[in-house]
Chains A and B, each alone.
Chain A
Amino acid sequence: MQRIGQFVLAIALIAALLLSACTAPAAAPAAPAGEAAAPAGDTAAAGGVTMSFWTRDSNQAQVRQLVDAWNESHDNKIEITVIPSGEYMTKVGASAAGGSGPDIIAVDLIYVPQFAAAGQLADITESAKSLSYFDKLSPSHVRLATYEGKIYALPFNAEGSILLWNKGLFKEAGLDPEKGPTSWTEIAADAAKITALGDDKYGFYFAGSCAGCNAFTFAPLIWANGGDVLSEDGATATLTDPSVAAALDFYRQLWADGQMPAGAQVDTGTDFFNAFASGKIGMTGSGAFAISQLKNDYPDIDFGVTFLPGQNDGQSSFAGGDSIGIPSGSKYAKEAFEFIEWLTTEDVQLEQYAKSNSLPIRTDLAENEYFASDPRLTTAAQAMAMGKTPYSLVYNQLFNDANGPWLKMIQTAIFDGNVEQAVQDGQDEFTKIMAEN
């Protein structure tokens, strides 16, 4: 009898716990309501609301500075939450499911189609198109923020891939240090001369086990050569495009000729920047971020910045960075857009972005007073403006996955030397993943 009593008690407790646990997520939305109540109190005092804004930790310093500038000059305040990049998507996904998301959100531009397709972002088409400089906003950001004809985000910060060359090593190898390469042929010729210097110096470098690094710096070689990896609408894989094979073969030849250090093969991205910073690499694909980092931390390295080229001519870039949007659950959609509009204005783009060496997100501001003293930044801004970005609802699976088809294609072609097989497998796997989703 007692046993039964205990059993019943235990079951009752478990049930009570499960119920309380189940109601926990439901209780969560109550929290923002509470938050909303607090700003309401503030409203009387300061005449504004407090909006929560989530961003990832890259560019943290610049984002904080930007938000501080906004808060100083506006009644509506912004409270920023910085989340580590690696956990960002999980946190955002969980908050969306629990209904406890922020009022404004910045996400890597490649995820915007996925966010929009899942109904996570508010449609801001009308407000966006009413901006007088709408057609000057980074075209790649806007293209990826467009889903089924509607706009769900605007550019928040920008990054463009470029080619770095070490002027010191160019000089040492008897090359013109002021003239960066403008084609694959020139890269190969220059690399050979630099590698010939010996003493652990190499002409070229790429992070051979880093999927994202190669979307950023290798895909532009294909684009510059007139090819593409996905169709314009993002619905079809186009890896069988001859430019893909040609670009792969260009890298394969550099590798086979020993123009890169052996460790490039296993670099998962830890050396993506460091290799060039060692001062022993002649050329490497990199991004605008590297310019200020090199200037600040490696003042001894004299480097040039040029566009990532095609086989004989042409140039391109991967336009990266974050886009900013308003989650569909935001309580302050109107106020949030005021912030978005503010940050895209010329004054903010110059004083908050360009002044601190960040690329403006507007193509009409690539050339500006702050970049005038360092044309390398202008080159990066121009690269971003002409840059492309693959549009896909499964971008992560296709391009960013360290175990996915993009990196596998690159490794098979370059390190195994089998370009034809690599391209065919890549095309098949891309097609399969795109069909599954």
Chain B
Amino acid sequence: MATMQAAATAPTGKRSSMARRRQVIGFLFVLPAALFMLVFFIFPLLMTVWMSLHDWPLLGTPEFTGLANYITMVQDRQFWSSVLFTTQYTVLVTIPIFLLAFVLALLVNLPLRGVGIFRTGYFIPVVIGLGTSSLLWVWLLNDRVGIFNTILVNLGLADKPIVWFAQKYTALLAIVISVVWKTVGFTMILLLSGMQAIPDEIYQAAMVDGATYWGRLVHITMPLLRRTFALALVLSVIGSYLAFDQFYIMTRGGPKNETITTVYWIFNNSFVYFKMGYGASLSLVLLVILTLLSAAQLRILRDDTTY
């Protein structure tokens, strides 16, 4: 911006020196952010690339091995099955989050007295740490002291307490429920802010034209929420692909390694097997996968319309 303005209004030497000063000042303003990016993103990223080209034990001397880690990865069945499982988890968790968050956002957007209490209530689990909430759910779902099993048995919905983490799909279901509970409030708030940004005039005009509630929802709210939706989706998908804590705490990857997510596998390689170089190469591949996925989502949900 500064350059364009400067070019347009820089016929004399005095003005051009002023423009240069403006540029320097502008540069100084972005400098802190640029430094932050360099130190906390670019440098670690380059370091990760460097590590991924080594056999890098936790103790001892790293040894340059070129692309050996990447070749190992191609044959690493557990890695690819973890990518597949993480994708499965992402789909299973994203759909209920969006459906529920959308309904909740519609509800808490109603002009009712005391609606703020509900907004806060649905948002509270978001503020709890994921580790804490996972431990909480471990106990809620416990077969001897957990409240869920007591309710299920007392209502006659189960003959005996369910050991949720003993089977892959009940374990996955338990985790999906806990994560939906934990994160739905965040998506709800995003969608709510998107809804509130839609000008009232549009709804009023539609009502004058006789549009019903459903008509307004489908033809005004949903299309105008597209950008918010894209943002919420990208955040949710990235968050799900990076899932680790809940699996580490609730299932430990079990039963029989059927719930190992990609980050879990990266963690295992880096900090259990102490193969830091291999962990770095897996992280980079996950980064590439996530970048491609996010780009694809943004492209599909791109909204070129201006209102």
Query: In the bound complex, how far is the Cα of B62 from the Cα of A180, in angstroms?
Result: 52
Query: In the bound complex, how far is the Cα of B270 from the Cα of A93, in angstroms?
Result: 11
- Does A396 interact with chain B (Cβ within 8 Å)? yes
SS class, residues of chain A in contact with chain B: helix
Name A249-265 residues within 8 Å CB distance of B: 261-263, 265
> Which residues on B sit within 8 Å (CB–CB) of A114?
59
Query: In the bound complex, how far is the Cα of B31 from the Cα of A9, in angstroms?
Result: 12
Asked whether A96 and B59 contact (CB < 8 A) given A261-B143, A402-B254, the answer is yes
Asked whether A118 and B59 contact (CB < 8 A) given A396-B273, A403-B252, the answer is yes
Q: Would you give the 0/1 interface string for B18-38, flagging 1 where the beta carbon is closer than 8 Å to chain A?
A: 001001000100000011001
Q: Would you give the 0/1 interface string for B95-126, flagging 1 where the beta carbon is closer than 8 Å to chain A?
A: 00000000000000000000000000000000
Asked whether A89 and B271 contact (CB < 8 A) given A263-B142, A402-B252, the answer is yes
Q: Would you give the 0/1 interface string for A80-122, flagging 1 where the beta carbon is closer than 8 Å to chain B?
A: 0000000001101100100000000000000000110111100
- Does A358 interact with chain B (Cβ within 8 Å)? no
Q: Are A2 and B23 in contact (CB under 8 A)?
A: yes
Q: Are B166 and A266 in contact (CB under 8 A)?
A: yes
- Does A357 interact with chain B (Cβ within 8 Å)? no
Asked whether A408 and B256 contact (CB < 8 A) given A17-B38, A114-B59, A118-B59, the answer is yes
The one of A17, A262, A402 that contacts B35, using a Cβ cutoff of 8 Å = A17
- Does A400 interact with chain B (Cβ within 8 Å)? yes
Of the candidates A2, A117, A404, the one having the most CB atoms from chain B within 10 angstroms of its own CB is: A2
The one of A9, A90, A268 that contacts B252, using a Cβ cutoff of 8 Å = A268
- Does B15 interact with chain A (Cβ within 8 Å)? no
Q: Are B58 and A90 in contact (CB under 8 A)?
A: yes
> Which residues on B sit within 8 Å (CB–CB) of A6?
23, 27
> Which residues on B sit within 8 Å (CB–CB) of A396?
272-274
Query: In the bound complex, how far is the Cα of B143 from the Cα of A270, in angstroms?
Result: 13
Q: Are B60 and A119 in contact (CB under 8 A)?
A: yes
Asked whether A93 and B274 contact (CB < 8 A) given A2-B20, A118-B59, A408-B257, the answer is yes
- Does B144 interact with chain A (Cβ within 8 Å)? yes
> Which residues on B sit within 8 Å (CB–CB) of A117?
60
Interface residue tally on A, bucketed by range: 35 or more
Q: Are B253 and A402 in contact (CB under 8 A)?
A: yes
- Does A427 interact with chain B (Cβ within 8 Å)? no
Query: What's the nearest-Cβ distance from chain A to residue B79, in Å?
Result: 12
> Which residues on A sit within 8 Å (CB–CB) of B144?
200, 261, 263, 278
Of the candidates A9, A18, A209, the one having the most CB atoms from chain B within 10 angstroms of its own CB is: A209
Query: What's the nearest-Cβ distance from chain B to residue A87, in Å?
Result: 9
Asked whether A89 and B274 contact (CB < 8 A) given A263-B144, A266-B254, the answer is yes
Name A265-293 residues within 8 Å CB distance of B: 265-266, 268, 270, 278
- Does B83 interact with chain A (Cβ within 8 Å)? no
Query: What's the nearest-Cβ distance from chain B to residue A54, in Å?
Result: 14
Q: Would you give the 0/1 interface string for A107-145, flagging 1 where the beta carbon is closer than 8 Å to chain B?
A: 000000011011110000000000000000000000000
Q: Would you give the 0/1 interface string for B257-300, flagging 1 where the beta carbon is closer than 8 Å to chain A?
A: 10010000000100111101000000000000000000000000
Query: What's the nearest-Cβ distance from chain B to residue A335, in Å?
Result: 24
Q: Are A93 and B58 in contact (CB under 8 A)?
A: yes
Query: What's the nearest-Cβ distance from chain B to residue A49, in Å?
Result: 26
- Does A420 interact with chain B (Cβ within 8 Å)? no
User: Quick one: closest B residue to A402, CB to CB?
Assistant: B252
Q: Are B163 and A262 in contact (CB under 8 A)?
A: yes
- Does B255 interact with chain A (Cβ within 8 Å)? yes
Query: In the bound complex, how far is the Cα of B144 from the Cα of A402, in angstroms?
Result: 23
Q: Are B254 and A21 in contact (CB under 8 A)?
A: no
The one of A93, A266, A278, A394 that contacts B59, using a Cβ cutoff of 8 Å = A93
The one of A9, A262, A397 that contacts B272, using a Cβ cutoff of 8 Å = A397
> Which residues on B sit within 8 Å (CB–CB) of A120?
59-60
Q: Are B60 and A118 in contact (CB under 8 A)?
A: yes
- Does B3 interact with chain A (Cβ within 8 Å)? yes
> Which residues on B sit within 8 Å (CB–CB) of A2?
3, 20, 23
Name B169-194 residues within 8 Å CB distance of A: none
Query: In the bound complex, how far is the Cα of B39 from the Cα of A278, in angstroms?
Result: 50
Name A13-36 residues within 8 Å CB distance of B: 13-14, 17-18, 21
- Does B138 interact with chain A (Cβ within 8 Å)? yes
> Which residues on B sit within 8 Å (CB–CB) of A415?
166, 255
> Which residues on A sit within 8 Å (CB–CB) of B3?
2-3
- Does A52 interact with chain B (Cβ within 8 Å)? no
- Does A317 interact with chain B (Cβ within 8 Å)? no
Query: What's the nearest-Cβ distance from chain B to residue A371, in Å?
Result: 34
Q: Would you give the 0/1 interface string for A392-425, flagging 1 where the beta carbon is closer than 8 Å to chain B?
A: 0010110011111000100110010000000000
> Which residues on B sit within 8 Å (CB–CB) of A401?
268, 272-273
> Which residues on B sit within 8 Å (CB–CB) of A115?
59
Of the candidates A2, A209, A266, A400, the one having the most CB atoms from chain B within 10 angstroms of its own CB is: A266
> Which residues on A sit within 8 Å (CB–CB) of B255?
209, 265-266, 411, 415
> Which residues on A sit within 8 Å (CB–CB) of B163?
262-263, 265-266
Q: Are A403 and B268 in contact (CB under 8 A)?
A: yes
Query: In the bound complex, how far is the Cα of B272 from the Cα of A397, in angstroms?
Result: 7
- Does B213 interact with chain A (Cβ within 8 Å)? no
Query: In the bound complex, how far is the Cα of B34 from the Cα of A93, in angstroms?
Result: 30
User: Quick one: closest A residue to B38, CB to CB?
Assistant: A17
> Which residues on A sit within 8 Å (CB–CB) of B260?
403
Query: In the bound complex, how far is the Cα of B165 from the Cα of A268, in angstroms?
Result: 10
User: Quick one: closest B residue to A397, CB to CB?
Assistant: B273
Of the candidates B35, B43, B161, the one having the most CB atoms from chain A within 10 angstroms of its own CB is: B43
> Which residues on A sit within 8 Å (CB–CB) of B268?
401, 403
Interface pairs (28), CB distance under 8 Å: A2-B3, A17-B38, A17-B43, A21-B43, A90-B58, A93-B276, A96-B59, A114-B59, A262-B161, A263-B142, A263-B143, A266-B165, A266-B166, A266-B251, A266-B254, A266-B255, A270-B138, A278-B144, A396-B272, A401-B268, A401-B273, A402-B253, A403-B252, A403-B268, A408-B257, A411-B254, A411-B256, A415-B255
Beyond A278-B144, A400-B272, 16 additional pairs, beta carbon < 8 A: A14-B38, A17-B43, A18-B46, A93-B59, A93-B276, A209-B165, A261-B144, A262-B143, A265-B163, A265-B255, A266-B166, A396-B272, A396-B273, A401-B268, A402-B253, A415-B166
Residues on A close to B: CB < 8 A? 2-3, 6, 9, 13-14, 17-18, 21, 89-90, 92-93, 96, 114-115, 117-120, 200, 209, 261-263, 265-266, 268, 270, 278, 394, 396-397, 400-404, 408, 411-412, 415
